[in-house]
Structure 1
Amino acid sequence: MPSAPGARRRAVRLRWWSGRVSRRTTVLTVVAAALVLALAVGAMMLGDYPLSPTQVLVTVAGGGSDQEAFIVRTLRLPRVLVGAGVGVALAVSGSIFQGLVRNPLVAPDVIGVMAGATVAAVTAIVVFQSTAIVPIAAFVGAVLATFVIYGLTWRQGVAGGRLVLVGVGLEFVLTALTTLAIVRFPVEQVTPAIVWMTGTLYGAAWSDVVWLAGALAVLLPAALALMPRLQRLQLGDELATALGVALEPSRAGLLAVGAGLAATAVAVAGPVKFVALMIPHVARLLAGPLTGGVLVLAGMLGAVLVVGSDLVAQHAFSPTSLPAGIVTAAIGAPYFLFLLHRVNRHA
């Protein structure tokens, strides 16, 4: 979607990225960030021990009673921060994969990356009966799945069409292995694994926040730094080569960053479905073709979706609390069908 005629763009220069961001993209990003903050405050207000907005803000700033400090700073704030970080990571990851393959129906939860994390995490839960190693297992599983996809796709280079076919095939294989692991063990052993597979922020702690913050501090600047290469790759291999892009190193770097972001999110929250598939498309509909500014907007929209979904999952069905992944799936599945219909119509 081209920018509106006369749309003003402002140059933004950072140490690791420079580019022009349209006023529309800037406004949309600010609005999305404000929505994240509003949803975060709302999430910290609601619960068995309700708080006012003032109490929440005072407690987050370091004040409040001991009880309020425990409820907000120990229980609710980490959950909100993890939700926002997971949303950012998945949305940016999905944007990279869709831009790299030039297909709006591609995402890490479609081409096997999340399935790799899932089979590793489920195996860790049912075999070792411990959730302590689940984040590490999920991260390693996602990274290994990415290496397998890249290795099987390589044939004098990596083509987008082959990557999708290999990824979807690997997705089926890994899903079958996950199912096998579940049916081979007693119900009491696999129940925690099944809950994890729905994508939940339950039990989010400050250790998860630190993990997410550290990973995002490395991977998000890397994603922005690689954006000029991704934009040129979208023009086609011949033109990208003419513009000075080293095709395979650029693809490998983008694939590594996209997979790292997805692995980071899955490691702390499980496979929260459809965020990586849906949000990049929404960001492009709102702000135009993928640029560094649109990538940031996608991250903010991802945070809105995950934090908002977790808020709905916790309180809309009270006294029952649902995993956030169920709500994102309920929103994302119909949107996926809409996307599929739209792609088929324009094919």
Structure 2
Amino acid sequence: MSTATPANLLEFDLDGLAAFCERLGEKRFRATQLFRWIHQRGADDFGQMSDLAKSLRGKLEGCATVRALPVVAQHMSQDGTIKWLFDVGAGDAVEAVFIPEDDRGTLCISSQAGCAVGCRFCSTGHQGFSRNLTTGEILAQLWFAEHFLRRHLGTAERVVSNVVMMGMGEPLQNYAALVPALRVMLDDHGYGLSRRRVTVSTSGVVPMIDRLAQDCPVALAVSLHAPGDALRDKLVPLNRKYPLDELMAACQRYLAHAPRDFITFEYCMLDGVNDQPEHARELIALVERHRTQGVWCKFNLIPFNPFPASGLKRSGAPQVAAFARLLADAGIVTTVRKTRGDDIDAACGQLAGDVKDRTRVAQRIALQRQVPLQPAGGLAAGG
């Protein structure tokens, strides 16, 4: 009997699963059936997969598994936002957040345990970087959330309509694992999401923006946060490697392949740092300098969610409104993001929570392994 570790089928996009099945002597249509069982139906027991040949089910039992991530904690906000903390081993954990709205259900997914970029206003960055997630660990967040939510809400319909790679980590610094995960999200035999409804957020890894445009163009959001290089160098250290003019040029190149005709620029509003009228005027000049078409970008102004190590404060509502008005008067489409899930540390920039204390996380993981979380039929107690 083989002692090899069973392959986790969450690690494969459809082509990868077809290659795996071919090694078992099976044709591609069997891989498609298997893919649907896993992602569309949420099955993790090969015995449930009734339309697979019994011989294939027997082969899979011996060499494969559908292995999700253990859930360390689950919290629900008063506004309906749900946050999960997943154990990824070695004392590391990552978070995913589901945000329900009237016309959509958005899942925010992590791509790394920690983050190496170190943006000054982001608590995840203050945690430091541990490792990249695998394709299966990225997809396991969606797999769990989608099928948990269907059971919880009592529906057979798809619940997650939008995915944003805006959780912990810089997705484009984990490119090899990211792209197969995106392909599963988009695949009609998988989650069948529109390219317009899958968003990769980046702090500006220019070469990988160009690669994504060729390999798997989805909606792109760029964490901008400053109108000039001097300030952005301080807020987003990656800017020292890929300054603003290079980043703006990459965004324009991306538009030739993107499913939308605009790039979203995320802009965290920091009191007295980047929220003054002169900053708005510099942003307008930046947009105009790189304009090659009418509306080529949109701004999303994000309320800062304070944490002690940052030394920063949230801009006041009047200041945010005045800033937004200056951009809008210049013809730039501008929205102010509504803060969601901040009572459970699930809002933008807060995805570290207990993770920032890795000793505490290791203790919580050890405890969870001894006392399993309640099964997916009901929500765990919030905290």
Query: TM-score by structure 1 length?
Result: 0.24
Q: Which has the higher strand share?
A: 2
Q: Which has the higher helix share?
A: 1
Ranked by relative contact order (alpha carbons within 8 Å, sequence separation 6 or more), the top structure is 1
Query: TM-score by structure 2 length?
Result: 0.22
